[in-house]
Structure 1
Amino acid sequence: MLQNLQILTKKKLHGDKMNLTFNQLMILYCLHKLQGERTIYSIYHLIQGKKSSQTIQDAHLFHLTPFFQTDTNMSRLSLEKTVTILSKEQLIVEKTDLHYAVTSKGEQELSKMLAETPIPIHLNGWKYQRTAALFWERLSLAVQVISHLKKRESKYIPVQRKAEPLLWMRQFLKQNRLSRDALGLQLYQELVSLLESDSSIEPDYIVIRLSGYQSFGLTESQAAKHFRMDLSYYHYLFLSMLHYITGYIEKNPSQFPILHAFLDKQQKHNLTNSTEKTYALLKQGNSVTDIMTIRGLKKSTIEDHLVELALNIEEFSINPYVSIEKQELIKKAAKERQTKQLKQIRSLVSNADYFEIRLVLAKYGEEL
């Protein structure tokens, strides 16, 4: 099966040299989007996927949701080193403590490098990263296991060693009634159909990482060397592929019954577990005060949950928490000042508190 998949792939080598790594370019891009309104550590929290109300809101307000939780290996030290490099190259300049703006030189370099190594078009960490990470664990293990089952070979080292995917694989095989040959054929056909569904994707970025019977997938660094590209750029191209795949399967479940089984069915909304519980209580008609009592949480915590709901649930109304008149005043102030800083907006709408401003920005920030 794996050998047949590899016939599908297109071998495109990316040998163009970059002055900056893609990670450094990405940080420059984020700083450009932030416009000096947040510290450099907001980027660290974004890339790490910190589930705080501030980070989640910033991701949406500054249009940085594609990068959310896309590199959990990033350290604060590596971020600081990149900022130092960008500053020495005069691509950024410090406005106030840890707040940086991109210079005109930086904007030119950013535009030039994005033309050479564009941000992968299907990258969407906020929407798909959690689902995609779990999907990859299951897919890579399934391809390996089913390939060996077809050959009646039981002695091999699983590519995934964590308990969850191994337990899931046992349950999947137990519940699936297809023969091992029929299961292998259907999985192969679904993968072929999926990888051929869009001409903008490169199947080899995925296939080269898969292991099968007497065939070993490459590591991320080995794959980057194979394609002669910057490691961080390959990392994001790979994630972009996974995000596309999981999104496409979610939209076409009947077309991919085997692959759809690899997705996490428990996640209805991209909410934190605590916000899910608050949302359930709200739908039961409980007030904020009621929920504070029921859950034993502070008002500020419930307010954080409401902001998260406004960001993620399109039909969630903020009218019970902010009057329509005040919403319009806040939106007008944000447009006039061309800012997302709460303090500046409140200087124009003194009768609005910070929670109300956050809620309006969460609901309408992207269109503003």
Structure 2
Amino acid sequence: MDRTLHFLLLFCLQRFNGERSLSAVYHLLSGKKSAQTLQDSKWFRLEKLFGAYKDVSGYELEKAAAELMTDQCLSLVGDRSYVLTEKGDEQLERWLPSARFLQHLNGFLYHSVDTLFWYRLSLFVQTISNLVHKCRFEPIHRHEATFEWVKRYIFSQKRTASEWAHALYNELVDLLTALSDEEAEMLTLRLTSFERIGWTNEQLAAFFNKDSLYIQLMLQHVLHYMMERLVRDAASFPILHALARDLVSPVSLTRSAQKTYEWLQSQKDIEEIARIRGLKRSTIEDHIVEIAANVPGFSIEPFVDEKTRRNVMKATKELGTKQLRKIREAVGDHVSYFEIRLILAKAGEAGES
């Protein structure tokens, strides 16, 4: 696991550039759905890795950071904050070409649903395979909701087992054609059929001579590619599209921010929403920053004027930082921290730098 974890840590810390601590890396990789972590993933262009390693422990990251310090790849610049050394930058560049999982990985959109999509896909494949061969079988997953979903889906259409199998096979082949042979093989070996139990990540790691975290990320990358493609091109994959269509949401907001967003759409201002919801103004401001970072097309014009926006973006670029205090010192105290955060959040959503 060390090499892949070291890569993830270097990748995140290079983007954070000393402006966030090791805790921010932990919250990002584990997928903590707080306003700050969601904003960080946008501001520092780390959406791909949001929730990508849900089981990561703080101890693992501390150990990896210590090892990278020993290897002179990291330099400590504050309380648990690091920057990459020249050697660290070179190491990251050497490892980047082999990190193929970054191509389609999109933890920000899919981290909370990729497991459920996998449950559906794997149980569906197992069920169809056994129906064709008229075999009784033990479901590969003990997940009652998935079992009921697959059963309802199969009974909802008038197809024979062989018709299901033929159509499913053709869709899977078409879908996986865009991937490398290794990626397609990883997914195929992971699936269970009537005659073979799917391999574990550890078995795949031994077979491909990789660490298990690399295998985990590669499989997530494949599943995220599949979900994105199925939603985008539903007509070409009618069977598989059904597995993903109710799982994928284009917007990822915390529950409380979603409520604030609904009130904003009802033309309520910050003070009204704070009063209605019984929350502090600062909490509603946090929600608006989160909304700006995550909702395409959300306008910040009601909250900040264009001149201020340009000045903040100019200062951010010239200073080479996203530290709010330094930006405010540059643009003046008349600009609030809320306005600066809002501008940075919207810039991150729009892909500006």
Change (3 A) 1:176 1:195: same
For the residues of structure 1 that align with 2:253 and 2:242, how far apart are their CA atoms? 21
2:169 maps to 1:185: no
Which residue of 221, 226, 229 corresponds with 2:202?
A: 221
Which residue matches 2:76?
94
SS at 2:142 equivalent? coil
Change (3 A) 1:260 1:118: closer
Identity %: 38
Which residue matches 1:113?
95
Listed as ranges, the matches of 1:9-158 within 5 Å are 21-117=3-99, 120-154=102-136, 156-158=137-139
2:334 maps to 1:351: yes
Q: Residues 259-294 of structure 1, C-alpha deviation per residue, up to 9 Å, x if partnerless?
A: 111115263422333333322222222222333333
Which 10-residue stretch deviates more, 158-167 or 48-57?
A: 158-167
SS at 1:203 equivalent? helix
SS at 1:54 equivalent? helix
Q: Residues 283-325 of structure 1, C-alpha deviation per residue, up to 9 Å, x if partnerless?
A: 2222223333333333233222211221122210001111222
The answer as to whether partners of 1:67 and 1:126 remain within 8 angstroms in 2 is yes
TM-score, normalization by structure 2: 0.93
Q: Which structure has the higher relative contact order (CA within 8 Å, separation 6+)?
A: 1
SS at 1:262 equivalent? helix
- Runs of 4+ aligned structure 1 residues displaced above 6 Å come to none
Change (3 A) 1:119 1:241: closer
Q: Could you tell me which amino acid in structure 1 is paired with residue 220 of structure 2? A: L
Which residue of 297, 308, 326 corresponds with 1:315?
A: 297
SS at 1:261 equivalent? helix
For the residues of structure 2 that align with 1:180 and 1:116, how far apart are their CA atoms? 40
Which residue matches 2:152?
171
More helix by share: 2
Which residue matches 2:219?
238
For the residues of structure 2 that align with 1:222 and 1:45, how far apart are their CA atoms? 29
For the residues of structure 2 that align with 1:179 and 1:354, how far apart are their CA atoms? 62
TM-score, normalization by structure 1: 0.89
Change (3 A) 1:307 1:223: same
Change (3 A) 1:344 1:48: same
Which residue matches 2:263?
281
The answer as to whether partners of 1:147 and 1:212 remain within 8 angstroms in 2 is yes
Deviation at 1:177, TM superposition (A): 2.7
Change (3 A) 1:106 1:54: same
Deviation at 1:103, TM superposition (A): 0.7
For the residues of structure 2 that align with 1:176 and 1:45, how far apart are their CA atoms? 43
Root-mean-square deviation over aligned CA pairs:
1.9
For the residues of structure 2 that align with 1:291 and 1:175, how far apart are their CA atoms? 44
2:273 maps to 1:291: yes
For the residues of structure 2 that align with 1:60 and 1:103, how far apart are their CA atoms? 24
For the residues of structure 1 that align with 2:232 and 2:176, how far apart are their CA atoms? 15
2:160 maps to 1:160: no
For the residues of structure 2 that align with 1:26 and 1:184, how far apart are their CA atoms? 39
Any unmatched runs of 5+ in structure 1? 1-17
Q: Could you tell me which amino acid in structure 2 is paired with residue 109 of structure 1? A: Q
Q: Residues 180-214 of structure 1, C-alpha deviation per residue, up to 9 Å, x if partnerless?
A: 22222211111111111345872111111000102
2:188 maps to 1:207: yes
For the residues of structure 2 that align with 1:297 and 1:137, how far apart are their CA atoms? 39
For the residues of structure 1 that align with 2:141 and 2:44, how far apart are their CA atoms? 36
For the residues of structure 2 that align with 1:181 and 1:281, how far apart are their CA atoms? 51
For the residues of structure 1 that align with 2:347 and 2:86, how far apart are their CA atoms? 30
Which 10-residue stretch deviates more, 334-343 or 144-153?
A: 144-153
Which 10-residue stretch deviates more, 140-149 or 123-132?
A: 123-132
